[in-house]
Amino acid sequence: MSPALSSCLILVSWNLSPDDGEEKEYVGFATLPNQVHKKSVKKGFDFTLMVAGESGLGKSTLVNSLFLTNLHKDRKLLNAEERISQTVEITKLTVDIEEKGVKLKLTIVDTVGFGDAVNNTECWTSVTDYINQQFEQYFRDESGLNRKNIQDSRVHCCLYFIPPFGHGLRPVDVEFMKALQDKVNVVPLISKADCLTPTEIKKLKEQLREEIDKYGIKIYQFPDCDSDEDEEFKRQDKELKESSPFAVIGSNTVVEVRGQRVRGRLYPWGIVEVENPTHCDFVKLRTMLIRSHMHDLKDITNDCHYENYRAQIIQTMTSKMNADKRVESPILPLSTSGVETEKLIKMKDEELKRMQQMLQKMQQQMHEQDL
Amino acid sequence: MASSDVARQPDKGARPLSLAGHVGFDSLPDQLVNKSICQGFCFNILCIGETGIGKSTLMDTLFNTNFENFESSHFEPQVKLRAQTYDLQESNVRLRLTVVNTVGFGDQMNKQESYQPVVDYIDRQFESYLQEELKIKRSLHNYHDSRVHACLYFISPSGHSLKSLDLVTMKKLDSKVNIIPVIAKADTISKSELHKFKIKIMSELVSNGVQIYQFPLDDETVAKVNTTMNGHLPFAVVGSTEEVSVGNKMVKARQYPWGVVQVENENHCDFVKLREMLICVNMEDLREQTHTRHYELYRRCKLEEMGFKDTDPECKPVSLQQTYEAKRQEFLLELQRREDEMRQMFVQRVKEKEGELKEAERELQSRFEQLKRLHADEKATLEDKKRLLDEDQSSFSKRRAAAQLLQAQSLTANGKKDKDRKNSGFM
């Protein structure tokens, strides 16, 4: 008597609840979300965040403010003369944090010395190398025999700090973002926004958006929300999209404002509250990064950037193989022959289409002649 | 030449006298002041800093005017300098102010050569002053002094330390110009951070041997102020040309959602200190330092390069004139030598050419003779042949004549015979 589930295209919604008085058929898959929730809590989450930008723009302070902790205990900062010929060093810091039973393994990747040297040509090569290394590691793990415990150390998001002291993007900003746009989700931020008045912030954001378009930099785009979400969510989403890039302020200190203790910066002329939406976009960044789009960032890294890398790697491997004529790794799929036959099929398809069109034309002509 | 501030040592040959009444030469400083007011003053500031760090805004705020600067782009391929000269007037004092800004400083990927255009500019100004000084007919009192008197170096408010580019540039400039480092956009640093930042900057400058401008402590009237100010270096400044109403006044300030940063409030930033130090108290000292210290250093290096010395190899003082003479002689001798050389070369070449031509002539002559002989030989052969032919011809014509005669004779004989026959026949 259960409704035939043969045509799965028909959306039938039942009111299924085991507490119904009437004898309704209860299948029970409405509890799937709960099951997913339980499993994921048990498994725990991981997230890798990369922060990039020149020294002194407040990267570490912002990370501390985002995760409400003090990640860097004793940091040794280099002197100016040591930084003259500094090379970029990638440092990784992993912490385990927990909130309401949900465990998060957070990895912060810092680019130390980026843009510090006097000669900064190609200073991002170590960054791209690092990201590629993580992809390679995952690729190997994925193709291995024992895939039980794959550690995902791929970089899910890169926060790029743009200094607020200039008039827009600088050459080093453009080059860095272009080098990374196909490997990681790049989120540009205006750092130390407490040196800009609201009009200046607006002007700078417009300028940055224009320049990002002009140079064709592919930054992370928020996905459009579904049309059946409620109005509040849609409004929030629209607001988020319009205030990109975010102008943020970070703080390591807690100050007292209006009887409350909040994170902020104390100046002789006033107190900047980090979490005040009229002061800066920190709240929006936190919402986007942690509360709503964290998983989306991971998905895009997995589906888009990683797949690109994988396809590239496989192609280079097979082209090398064809050149060497040696069978090496067993994990190679039949992609080359597949790709070639696909190409042939496509060609034949196009030919067929053309001939069909010609045929149609001739038929039309004959028809007209008959008339 | 500038007079030194230090009190003059009593001359050994002169004995100090005391005056019995008021003579009146105590008005000398006033005369000097009046004269310089009539002439007008001249001041040149160089502002070095990254694009967008607030150089033009600070200049506008310092001199309370609008210098009409436009924003530059971040994508300049090289560092350039833009100099603009303005005439300002306050009460009855006229000031010719030149503001030189760097364009594109700190934007390139490779900043190793960023300091070079700045150093070149400063050297050029020194060079043109030196040229004017060395002229025969010179007008130094009319000369528009374009040497850089003060250099404001804008430090980016990272809060940690100096940037590597800052260190490299300041090291190259400290022996050429008075450097006054300022922390730009200081409204992004809180008080505690600022204190640490200033200490870090000064320690880095000292440990790298960068000599920045120290306010002078010789004059008692300003020594005390200057000492305190020296302790506040580098000044943390905020610039703004917009006015915001605070209380019941309109002041220059920046309006934020969390408060108003007043430019002229000593609690908020060091702008007032900078203005006082740069303009009110030490402007003249800056000019003097530029002339006596930096310019003299440049001049000495330049002249030594050209070969001038103060003492000749026997360590006896040599005047400029003698050196000039010596140099001139040397030069003339050199010229003479060159001329002789050239002449010799010329003569040699001419000889060579002559030889060649003679050779060619001789060759031609011999060929001519050869040809002539050939020609004569051929002519002789031809003559012989002609003679033979003539002989042949004459013998042939003789034979022909003989043959003809014979033929004619035989004909007549035959005719007679025929007649005879005929006649005989009839008989």
Q: Is A199 on the interface with B (CB under 8 A)?
A: no
pLDDT in the model for residue A124: 83
Give the Cα separation of A252 and A71 in Å (integer): 11
pLDDT in the model for residue B327: 82
| Nearest partner of A47 among A70, A73, A67, A68, judged by Cα | A67
pLDDT in the model for residue A54: 86
Task: Render B263-286 in DSSP notation, one character per residue.
Answer: TT-TTT-SHHHHHIIIIIISHHHH
The residues, any chain, with a CB within 8 Å of residue B177's CB and separated by 6 or more, are: B46, B122, B148, B150, B151, B290, B294
Q: What are A280-312's pLDDT values in tens digits?
A: 888 888 888 877 778 888 888 888 888 888 888
| Nearest partner of B58 among B308, B239, B194, B299, judged by Cα | B239
Lowest mean pLDDT among A7-11, A42-46, B267-271: A7-11
- The ipTM is 0.72
Chain length of chain B: 427
pLDDT in the model for residue A8: 43
Q: Is A139 on the interface with B (CB under 8 A)?
A: no
pLDDT in the model for residue A228: 66
Q: Are A134 and A190 in contact (CB under 8 A)?
A: no
Query: pLDDT-based confidence at A69, cuts 50/70/90?
Result: confident
What mean pLDDT value characterizes chain A? 79
pLDDT in the model for residue B426: 56
Pairing of strands B243-246, B150-155: unpaired
Identity of residue A146: N
The alpha carbon of residue A120 is apart from the nearest alpha carbon of chain B, in Å, by 5
Q: Are B85 and B96 in contact (CB under 8 A)?
A: yes
Query: pLDDT-based confidence at A3, cuts 50/70/90?
Result: very low
Contact list, A54 vs chain B (CB under 8 Å): 158
Query: Can you give the C-alpha Rg of chain A in angstroms?
Result: 27
| Nearest partner of B118 among B80, B73, B156, B74, judged by Cα | B80
Identity of residue B83: A
Chain A residue closest to B266 (CA)? A268
Chain length of chain A: 371
Long-range contacts of B388-394 (CB under 8 A, 24+ apart): none
State the average pLDDT over residues A127-134: 88
Give the Cα separation of B254 and B242 in Å (integer): 7
Q: Do B160 and A120 touch (CB under 8 A)?
A: no
| Nearest partner of A309 among A159, A142, A187, judged by Cα | A142
Q: Select the residue from B192, B243, B258 to test the A interface by mutation, using most A Cβ atoms within 10 A.
A: B258
pLDDT in tens, chain B (427 residues): 344 444 556 667 788 888 888 888 888 888 888 888 888 888 999 999 998 888 988 998 888 888 877 777 888 888 889 888 888 888 888 888 899 999 888 888 888 888 999 999 999 999 999 888 888 888 877 788 889 999 999 999 888 888 888 898 999 998 899 999 999 998 888 888 899 899 999 999 999 898 888 888 887 777 888 888 888 889 999 988 888 888 888 888 888 888 888 888 888 888 998 988 888 888 888 888 899 999 999 998 888 887 776 665 555 556 667 777 888 898 999 999 999 999 999 999 999 999 999 999 999 999 999 999 999 999 999 999 999 999 999 999 999 999 999 988 888 887 777 667 766 655 5
Give the Cα separation of A72 and A92 in Å (integer): 11
Give the Cα separation of B82 and B101 in Å (integer): 5
The whole-model pTM stands at 0.73
Q: What are A96-121's pLDDT values in tens digits?
A: 877 788 888 888 888 888 888 888 78
Give the Cα separation of B83 and B118 in Å (integer): 12
Query: Can you give the C-alpha Rg of chain B in angstroms?
Result: 51
Q: Is B70 on the interface with A (CB under 8 A)?
A: no
pLDDT in the model for residue A10: 45
Query: pLDDT-based confidence at A245, cuts 50/70/90?
Result: confident
Q: Is A269 on the interface with B (CB under 8 A)?
A: yes
Structure tokens at B338: 């060159």
State the average pLDDT over residues A169-195: 89
Q: Are B247 and B237 in contact (CB under 8 A)?
A: no
| Nearest partner of A126 among A50, A218, A47, judged by Cα | A50
State the average pLDDT over residues A344-359: 83
Q: Is A57 on the interface with B (CB under 8 A)?
A: yes
pLDDT in the model for residue B310: 63
The alpha carbon of residue A126 is apart from the nearest alpha carbon of chain B, in Å, by 16
At A168, is the secondary structure helix, strand, or coil?
coil
Local structure of residue B317 (DSSP, 8 states): B
Contact list, B109 vs chain A (CB under 8 Å): 119-121, 171-172, 175
pLDDT in the model for residue B118: 92
pLDDT in the model for residue B383: 94
Among all chains, which residue has been given the structure tokens 């030194």? B4
Q: What are B101-156's pLDDT values in tens digits?
A: 998 888 888 888 889 999 999 999 999 998 888 888 888 777 888 899 999 999 99
Give the Cα separation of A81 and B81 in Å (integer): 26
Q: Select the residue from B73, B74, B154, B201 to test the A interface by mutation, using most A Cβ atoms within 10 A.
A: B74
Rounded to 5°, the CA angle B121-B126-B132 comes to: 130
Q: Is B202 on the interface with A (CB under 8 A)?
A: no
Among all chains, which residue has been given the structure tokens 């899910």? A156
Give the Cα separation of B294 and B174 in Å (integer): 9
Q: Is B87 on the interface with A (CB under 8 A)?
A: no
pLDDT of residue A256 exceeding 80:
yes
Lowest mean pLDDT among A108-122, A202-216, A219-233, A309-323: A219-233
Long-range contacts of B287-296 (CB under 8 A, 24+ apart): B287/B43, B287/B149, B288/B2, B288/B5, B289/B178, B289/B213, B290/B147, B290/B148, B290/B149, B290/B177, B290/B178, B291/B2, B291/B147, B292/B2, B292/B4, B294/B126, B294/B147, B294/B175, B294/B176, B294/B177, B294/B178, B295/B126, B295/B129, B295/B147
DSSP H or E run through B336: helix B320-426
Chain B residue closest to A82 (CA)? B164
